[in-house]
Amino acid sequence: MARRSKSTSGQQATYGDQEIPCGHGGETHQTAEDGYVVLTTQHGIPVADDQNSLKQGARGPTLIEDAHFREKIFHFDHERIPERVVHARGYGAHGFFETYKSLSKITRADIFQREGEQTPVFVRFSTVAGSKGSFDLARDVRGFAVKFYTQEGNWDLVGNNIPVFFIQDAIKFPDVIHSVKPEPDKAFPQAQSAHDNFWDFISLTPEAMHMIMWVMSDRALPRSFRFMQGFGVHTFRLVNAKGESNFVKFIWKPKLGMQSVVWNEAVKINGADPDFHRRDLWNTIQSGNYPEWELCLQVFDQAFADSFDFDVLDPTKLIPEELLPAEPVGRLVLNRMPENFFAETEQVAFMTQNVPPGIEFSNDPLLQGRNFSYLDTQLKRLGGPNFAQLPINAPKCPFHHFQQDGHMAFQNPRGRANYEPNSWGPDVGGPRESTEHGFQTFPQEAEGPKVRQRPESFSDHYSQARQFFISQSLVEQRHIGDALVFELSKCEFPAIRERMVAHLLNVDNDLAQTVADGLGMKSLPAAATPAQEPRTDLPPSDLLSILKNPPPSFAGRKVGVLITDGTDAQLLADLQAAIEAEGATFELIAPTIGGATLSDGTLQPAHHKIDGGPSVLFDAVALLPSDEGILGLLKLPPARDFASDAYAHYKFIGFTEPAMKLFAKVGLPDDLDDGFIAVAAGTDAGRFVEACRALRFWDRPDGA
């Protein structure tokens, strides 16, 4: 282990056997009250507050003069080259957004003015923590970023599949990401939060407790991009042509409903197909089964904001839909994959500050910081100031400006004028500002001293965390407990585990006890002292649960069908017809990729060899071996895993009588539960598909 000592009188420090310049240029280190050296900027200026950005009043806008925040976020944005620091592993698709009806009463945004109008979009989904080469099924937040190419410029709605965030102030963003990334000395773990640095930071950051409930829930393990919600996270403003303003939160809801995987399943999917989400989106769009979402708005005025139990500017809070319904205003359809992954998905540049007239920002300090940060990010990643000229980033409406030259400029102002005002006339003088058509900022008043502090209205860190937990089904609550035990078990330092359990006592006593028992703690620590006493009277919000909101059908899902030589040809045809009638798909698995000779003598090619098509890749499975074929399957370990994993992951299992021998071989109960559906040629195929609409048979006691 490297030795590290602190110099107190010179300008050298020892790290291992190497002398390096000391981090402070004076004769002695300044020492804080707790014995640590004083934090400074890169230029040696001591920092008084590293927890809050500088704002005009506690709830006011972030000030551009905050040099410490500027330096901190600037350096963070430039840490990686060339991949993104966060959201590096992404996948995107083209499509359109169709407006349901005019929203001119609440916004002048051009995209919402005309019923039925379709606006081109590009959407990028991503994980947050992993590198470009990591796997798809990490337990992680998913990015859900949409670029609308509107007639009045590009609108980037840069959100996640979770409606809240870990932190309240953007100055802490480098810290939370540093903590979850691979530890800097080890360079691992990759795309995982189950390590000391992350939980050390979280256990010292009470404001993260609501987000932690979401990240430890099934929301962090989506089955597909097509089955997850998206959120704008922040509170924005809508402004109409009269200058009247309302607040708004943006929510994307998938037409196919929500669905996730269980942890054991995710681990095995990553081994079988680390590109699982990418492949799913590609295959779905290429087959013409275009995924859709509805854009829903929660619109509210200042009076509602003032009456709400929590501050609408706090990005760690949400507004339950039972309290404020989310109204659908349009649909998003993805119908075309990029022609080149790098040119489009990798080079697309999203920036929260890209909003058209009629959509504006609130004083959410995390949003304010993001607006400040994203331009730096794109400059570093894409090499210069002209990244907006790349086709994937360029607006599809007319645009005119005097910006010129720079790295890789391939569009420059034409003619004599490259400045304004000028006197050359409209033909050659170039563009001019327009008070009528231009972006007019809502004139919100701001007052108060320049301060680095959080408003008191941001200080309740546990109430909504509790509300989210009690809103989940018992199955989902168990998954949250299991996830916390697994993650905290990877922490080497007991103090970190104890601090987290102390926080959980402010969320739910039973959850805290479950985690403590799972960690082998002999006694519970004292509950963490809250900045504000948490409320226990918030009612459950069923719309926060995945399992309480099942999909309307089995459409969009996939069945894995295991066949052998002698499989009943008519049964297979019946099953295929029933699956396709439901709007689902199926893939065939056989002992060899060459397939199997069916009962009618036809050779049926397979999509997968048995060890390349495990049951974790499918939403339900059917085992249709013949009497002769089952004898070969019994000798194949992947066939045994196919059956045992399907059972352990609560999947519906269609089967023919010979498959019973395989079930016995892997030790499944003799008395099969209702998640097993015996099938034969005739009407049984429809009965199997009907059962699959429930997606999982959660009553199975011995599952994952």
Residue of 322, 168, 319 whose CA lies nearest to 250:
319
Cα 350 from Cα 146, distance rounded (Å): 8
Residue of 361, 251, 363, 364 whose CA lies nearest to 298:
251
For residue 652, CA distances in Å to 554, 561, 581 come to 12, 12, 18
Contact 365, 62 (CB under 8 A): yes
Contacts of 383 (CB under 8 A, 6+ apart): 407, 408
> What does residue 654 show for φ and ψ, rounded to 5 degrees?
-85, 145
Contact 310, 468 (CB under 8 A): no
Does the annotation count 401 as an active-site position?
Answer: no
Q: Which residue has the tokens 């947050």?
A: 128
What is the chain's alpha carbon radius of gyration, rounded to the nearest angstrom?
28
Cα 16 from Cα 2, distance rounded (Å): 5
Q: Which residue has the tokens 């420090």?
A: 13
Cα 127 from Cα 107, distance rounded (Å): 32
Contact 500, 537 (CB under 8 A): no
Other beta carbons within 10 Å of 609: 15
For residue 611, CA distances in Å to 197, 567, 608, 651, 668 come to 37, 19, 8, 19, 20
425 conformational bin, left if phi > 0, alpha if psi -120 to 50, beta if neither: left
Cα 67 from Cα 11, distance rounded (Å): 25
Contact 460, 536 (CB under 8 A): no
| Residue of 160, 354, 363, 386 with catalytic role | 160
Q: Computed from CA positions of residues 406, 410, 414, 416, in that sequence, does the dihedral angle turn out positive or negative?
A: positive
Greatest C-alpha distance within the chain = 90
Beta strands in 232-274 (DSSP E): 236-239, 245-254
> What does the angle CA 489 – CA 493 – CA 495 come to, to the nearest 5 degrees?
105
* Helices 684-692 + 569-581 axis angle, to 10: 40
- With 0-12 CB in 10 A as exposed, 13-18 as middle and 19+ as buried, what is 27? exposed
| Residue of 29, 87, 210, 234 with catalytic role | 87
Residue of 70, 532, 91, 148 whose CA lies nearest to 316:
532
Count of residues for the chain? 704
The runs of H, that is alpha helices, within 114-273 are: 173-180, 196-203, 209-215, 263-272
Does the annotation count 160 as an active-site position?
Answer: yes
Whether omega for the bond prior to residue 398 falls within 30 degrees of 0, making it cis, is: no
Contacts of 29 (CB under 8 A, 6+ apart): 6, 7, 8, 22, 37, 38
Residues involved in catalysis: 87, 160
